[in-house]
Amino acid sequence: MSSTTRLLAVAAVLWGAQSCWAQANALQVRSWAAGCANCHGTLGVAVGSSASLAGAPKEDMAKKLLDYKAGTRPATVMHQIAKGYSDEQLQQLADYFSALKK
């Protein structure tokens, strides 16, 4: 096997591994988001007095989540929930919900 062929084979394996990780990561984020459905509705569309998350601007949502986590935004339970996630996970949740249709 030539060095070029070996290099292409390694690149293909790494590309496949990255694709699997991205898919698993997307499934993990969706799993985290399912926990939000109790208050914010299925797929982020709330029924009742809770805020809908679907289609909200991701920058605004990420800032709110980080503020809840820091305790600088008033909340009843969100400050406790947000503390259970890393900053990166909160950003991923904001990305997920902002991509959903209202």
CB 39 within 8 Å of CB 46: yes
Any idea what DSSP says for residue 42?
A: G
Cα angle for residues 91, 92, 93 (degrees, 5° grid): 90
Domains by residue range for the chain, with CATH = 3-99 (1.10.760.10)
Task: Answer yes or no: pTM beyond 0.85.
Answer: no
Full pLDDT tens readout for the chain, 102 residues? 677 666 555 555 445 445 444 555 999 999 999 999 999 999 999 988 899 999 999 999 999 999 999 999 999 999 999 999 999 999 999 999 999 998
Sole residue written with tokens 């503390």: 83
Q: What is the CA radius of gyration of the chain?
A: 18
